Amino acid sequence: MSSSIELGTQSFANQKQQFWTLQVAGWLGYALVVFLAIIRPQFERPDFNLSGQIINLFVETFSGFLLSYIQWRFIRKIVHLPLKKTIFYSFTSATTLGFIFNIIKLSSYKVLVYGQQWNEAWDTLEFGGWLLFSLTTMFVWTSIFFIMLYNTRLQREHEKLLKARTAAKDAELQMLRYQLNPHFMFNTMNSISTLIYKFENDKANEMLDKLCEFFRYTLDRGERSVTTLQKELELLKLYISIEKVRFGERLKIHIGIDSEVQECQLPYMLLQPIVENSVKYAVEPCKDGGHIHIKSGCKDNRVTIEIIDDGKDQKVQVRNGLGIGMTNTRARLDAMFNGDYQFEIAENELGGTTVSISFPMITKVSK
């Protein structure tokens, strides 16, 4: 919330600075153009009133400066309206201010340059000629202000949309993460129950202690739905320690992770369901156990992760590879990377299964 306020304050400050820079530079440029195009060519005239022309130029420029500021304030108040209404009200206001600007200019010119009454000797042709330039000036400023303010409005709406999408994505990732917890808990408690049934109470007690340690770790990590590969491996090692109680030396894990991908972002608890699948289908059915290899690296700014096992019952594993855990894994990858990921399950030359994952390399923690 505080970051949103800071961004809004910074955006307002930048817009304010941009307005005043444009306002001052624009009207100084206006004064320079009027001086060079209208006043300078009259220097040779015998009745030329230089002081009156300069004072009149100052009055004209300053009044235009004030009127354009009023227009800026007005458009800022109506820019939230529908586009057609904003345009209509903006240019209606510009027409009104253009008339006022024209009257001030013409009156000042009569009084300061020729010493006449402010409304003396006005005619339709003269007033109309001045009015065209006055209206054009106000329309130009209105167009500039409208573009500035409407562009800011669109940027803010885009930011709100991005925040809403991010919040929805986080909620989806969180929901999918919560789906994993009971799934993992059920499988682990079922294993503990099997150990008790076999009267292997010491192993069951050790496995329960490891399970408590696992959930204590997940609670310490908070409610995050995104983590780094390094933290994910720490969690995975806790899970492996639980399964080691059941399988001992039958479960052989080999981890090879490149240092450059240690801080990459990925969905929380991404690897555990995949390794659990390998344990279930590659290690548990085999009397001699099995090997599970976990590899990760980076190529072309994409993270690649492979979980490879040498289980002999690979056909069953591949067929069952789209259960709750694996389907959940696909869904979380899709939610986090907006479909920019690859997830493949295939048989390998070891007689087992290889799960391959690829997604964009993201290292900046967003939460």
Residue 111 has pLDDT above 90, yes or no: no
What is the share, in percent, of the chain residues with pLDDT greater than 70? 80
pTM for the model: 0.51
How many Cβ atoms sit within 10 Å of the Cβ of residue 129? 13
Long-range contacts of 135-140 (CB under 8 A, 24+ apart): 135/94, 135/95, 135/98, 135/99, 135/102, 137/30, 137/64, 137/98, 137/101, 138/67, 138/68, 138/71, 138/94, 138/95, 138/97, 138/98, 138/101, 139/91, 139/94, 139/98
Residue 42 has pLDDT above 70, yes or no: yes
Residue 335 has pLDDT above 60, yes or no: yes
Confidence grade of residue 78 (pLDDT, cut at 50, 70, 90): confident
From the list 274, 284, 291, 304, the residue with the least C-alpha distance to 351 is: 291
Residue 287 has pLDDT above 90, yes or no: no
Query: DSSP string covering 34-79, please?
Result: HIIIIIGGGTT-TT--HHHHHHHHHHHHHHHHHHHHHHHHHHHHHT
User: What residues contact residue 289 under an 8 Å CB cut-off, 6+ apart?
Assistant: 247, 249, 250, 251, 252, 283
177 and 219 in contact (C-beta within 8 Å)? no
Residue 230 has pLDDT above 70, yes or no: yes
Confidence grade of residue 323 (pLDDT, cut at 50, 70, 90): low
From the list 132, 103, 131, 102, the residue with the least C-alpha distance to 118 is: 103
Sign of the dihedral through C-alpha 259, 260, 261, 265: positive
Bridge-based pairing state of the strands 251-257 and 290-299: parallel
User: What residues contact residue 87 under an 8 Å CB cut-off, 6+ apart?
Assistant: 146
What is the C-alpha separation between 282 and 253, in angstroms, rounded?
Answer: 12
Q: Give pLDDT tens digits for 138-197.
A: 999 998 888 888 777 777 776 766 665 655 555 555 554 544 456 567 777 777 888 888
H helix and E strand count, the chain: 10, 7
What is the C-alpha separation between 267 and 177, in angstroms, rounded?
Answer: 9
Where does the chain hold its CATH 3.30.565.10 domain(s)?
200-360
Q: Which of 151-155, 225-229, 254-258, 265-269 has the lowest mean pLDDT?
A: 151-155
Greater model confidence, 12 or 124: 124
Greater model confidence, 102 or 114: 102
Q: What is the pLDDT of residue 1?
A: 40
Q: What is the mean pLDDT of the chain?
A: 80
Residues 136/142/144/149 CA torsion (nearest 10 deg): -170
285 and 323 in contact (C-beta within 8 Å)? no
Mean local confidence (pLDDT), 350-354: 85
CATH T-level assignment (fold) for domain 200-360: Heat Shock Protein 90 (3.30.565)
Mean local confidence (pLDDT), 321-347: 79
Q: Give pLDDT tens digits for 189-220.
A: 777 888 888 887 888 888 888 878 877 776 66
Mean local confidence (pLDDT), 8-17: 63
Q: What is the pLDDT of residue 182?
A: 61
Residue 17 has pLDDT above 50, yes or no: yes
Query: DSSP string covering 139-199, please?
Result: HHHHHHHHHHHHHHHHHHHHHHHHHHHHHHHHHHHHHHHHHHHHHHHHHHHHHHHHHHHTT
Residue 7 has pLDDT above 80, yes or no: no
Residue 56 has pLDDT above 80, yes or no: yes
